[in-house]
């Protein structure tokens, strides 16, 4: 079951030639981005210097922080007029990371998702419910257009109103579901409460956050499905970068479109097959926003043995991040963003602590304890309530996430002598 058999099963020699050609085109295009033009000039690298794929290692890495310098459109390699869509994802401070797509980008992105869905046996015979956020998050429209491309009957359900979601699955005979694994656990629970059997469902596609094999087993049992892992990030279009095949044993990377490296995050040196490290990706088919050696922050390893499905390059399921990014209900949150928001508020004191829990309904909750300045703490209770609401609002406006905020007395939170450990993640991965 191939959508694009030639590219999915391409053999090493042909792949290398294709990657090299696309890499050189990318480097040509990237000259339009001032950040890269300066960087390549500084490093003394000219497009003609890229003769083999090994020459990629002469190019510098790109990090999420670099993208901040170009906010909002400084990383676009085409005139703004040619950018037909924008998405955003969390930045490391107040402003989000902006990503742009040309018409061609959207076309290629939909094709990559169509490949993934075809790989696990989905087709125009299926009814697909897309239960993720349709806003700036790439999971909504990304999957939507991929599903329509293969002709599935597509239901843009979005998130929330779980009972209604379950009714739709039953009433419309939904066969394939896409959402975050934690929302899938919640759906399973509500379906059980409602006595809904969800008989039509056969396939689940879950991603946007880490999930364990134990969660996979629970979801397969409770929803009566086969559950597949889906990986991607907004900077590389969104979902559709890597996806599990029916073997459910690692994720296939679409290597004609992405060059993959695994590096030791401390030294930047390459890791061998079977050695875990940070995934670094050079996208080869992005027009609006090409990137070089993008540090994803995600930890995985290359798997070496051949996959019986006939596709080649595979990576292991993700085992964590190299940084402190949290994923709360599918939304990425950097502790540095929280700090940035809190420290801009005059009432906030010196310290804060972030607690992350998974409640009995399998939903993530973030509680932030915030010290307020002494003069406010000893003031009127109504003042404290106003400050609390102001903080909740400021966090919601930037993070797009509801948080619980508790104000505490100055001096009551832990102080740190070394690196502050302000985040306590109490979720179990099961």
Return the structure tokens found at 16.
């290398």
DSSP string, 398-412: HH-S--EEEEE-TT-
Based on the number of CB atoms within 10 Å of its own CB, is 11 exposed (0-12), middle (13-18) or buried (19 or more)? Answer: exposed
d(CA 301, CA 230): 16
- Let me know if 68 is exposed, middle or buried by CB neighbors in 10 A (0-12, 13-18, 19+): middle
Q: Does 294 bind ligand DLL (CB under 6 A)?
A: no
Report if residue 8 touches ligand DLL, rule: CB under 6 A.
Answer: no
Minimum distance from residue 39 beta carbon to ligand DLL (Å): 22
Nearest distance in Å: CB 46, ligand DLL: 31
Nearest-CA neighbor of 298 among 273, 315, 311, 274? 315
- One of 219, 233, 259, 281 touching ligand DLL (CB under 6 A): 233
Q: Tell whether residue 228 is a contact of ligand DLL (CB under 6 A).
A: no
Q: How far apart are CA 384 and CA 390, in angstroms?
A: 10
The distance of closest approach from Cβ of residue 239 to ligand DLL in the complex, given in angstroms and rounded to an integer, is 4
Compute the least distance from the CB of residue 139 to ligand DLL, in Å: 3
Return phi, psi of residue 420, to 5°: -65, 140
Residue 230 contacts ligand DLL per CB under 6 A: yes
Kindly state the smallest distance separating residue 364's Cβ from ligand DLL, in Å: 14
Examine residue 234 and tell whether it contacts ligand DLL (CB under 6 A).
yes
3-class DSSP state of 360:
coil
Q: Which of residues 115-154 bind ligand DLL (CB under 6 A)?
A: 137-139
> Residue 281 in contact with residue 99, Cβ under 8 Å?
no
Scan residues 204-223 and list those touching ligand DLL (CB under 6 A).
207-210
* Distance in Å, CB of 232 to ligand DLL, minimum: 4
With CB under 6 A as the rule, give the number of residues binding ligand DLL: 23
Angle at 402 between CA 232 and CA 377, to 5 degrees: 135
Instruction: Pull the structure tokens for residue 283.
Output: 């996208």
Site for ligand DLL contains 298 (CB under 6 A): yes
Choose, by CB under 6 A, the member of 332, 337, 351, 398 that binds ligand DLL.
332
Q: Does 165 bind ligand DLL (CB under 6 A)?
A: no
Structure tokens at 44: 């003394």
Q: Least distance in Å: CB of 68 to ligand DLL?
A: 15
User: By CB under 6 A, what part of segment 55-94 binds ligand DLL?
Assistant: 89
Backbone dihedral angles phi then psi of residue 357, each to the nearest 5 degrees: -130, 160
Q: Considering only residues 296, 337, 398, 403, which one is a binding residue for ligand DLL as defined by CB under 6 A?
A: 296
Q: Give me the residues that bind ligand DLL (CB under 6 A), please.
A: 89, 137-139, 207-210, 229-234, 238-239, 296-298, 318, 321, 327, 332
């Amino acid at each position: 079951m191939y959508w694009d058999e030639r590219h999915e099963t391409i053999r090493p020699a042909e792949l290398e030639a294709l990657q090299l050609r696309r890499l050189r085109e990318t480097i040509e295009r990237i000259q339009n981005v001032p950040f890269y033009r300066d960087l390549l000039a500084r490093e003394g690298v000219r497009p003609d210097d890229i003769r083999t794929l090994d020459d990629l290692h002469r190019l510098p890495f790109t990090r999420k922080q670099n993208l901040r310098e170009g906010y909002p459109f400084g990383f676009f390699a085409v005139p703004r007029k040619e950018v037909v869509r924008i998405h955003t994802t969390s930045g490391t401070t107040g402003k989000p990371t902006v990503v742009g797509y040309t018409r061609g980008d959207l076309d290629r992105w939909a094709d990559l998702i169509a490949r993934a869905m075809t790989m696990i046996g989905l087709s125009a015979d299926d009814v697909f419910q897309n239960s993720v956020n349709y806003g700036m998050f790439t999971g909504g429209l990304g999957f939507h257009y991929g599903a329509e491309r293969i002709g599935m009957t597509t239901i843009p359900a979005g998130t929330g109103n779980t009972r209604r979601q379950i009714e739709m699955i039953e009433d419309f005979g939904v066969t394939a579901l896409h959402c975050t694994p934690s929302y899938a656990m919640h759906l399973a629970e509500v379906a059980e409460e409602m006595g809904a059997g969800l008989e039509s469902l056969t396939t689940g596609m879950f991603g946007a956050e880490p999930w364990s094999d134990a969660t996979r087993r629970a979801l397969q049992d409770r929803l009566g499905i086969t559950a597949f892992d889906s990986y991607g990030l907004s900077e590389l279009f969104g979902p559709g970068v890597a996806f599990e095949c029916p073997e459910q044993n690692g994720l296939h990377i679409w290597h004609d479109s992405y060059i993959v490296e695994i590096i030791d995050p401390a030294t930047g040196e390459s890791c061998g097959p079977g050695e875990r490290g940070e995934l670094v990706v050079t996208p080869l088919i992005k027009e609006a926003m090409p990137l070089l050696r993008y540090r994803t922050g995600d930890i995985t390893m290359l798997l070496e043995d051949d996959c019986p499905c006939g596709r080649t390059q595979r990576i292991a399921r993700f085992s964590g991040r190299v940084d402190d990014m949290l994923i709360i209900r599918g939304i990425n949150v950097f502790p540095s963003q929280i700090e940035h928001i809190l420290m801009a508020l005059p009432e906030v004191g010196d310290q804060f602590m972030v607690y992350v829990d998974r409640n009995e309904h399998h939903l993530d909750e973030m509680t932030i304890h915030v010290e307020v300045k002494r003069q406010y703490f000893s003031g009127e209770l109504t003042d404290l309530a106003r400050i609390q609401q102001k903080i909740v609002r400021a966090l919601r406006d930037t993070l797009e996430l509801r948080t619980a905020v508790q104000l505490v007395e100055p001096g009551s939170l832990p102080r740190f002598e070394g690196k502050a450990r302000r985040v306590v993640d109490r979720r179990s991965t099961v």
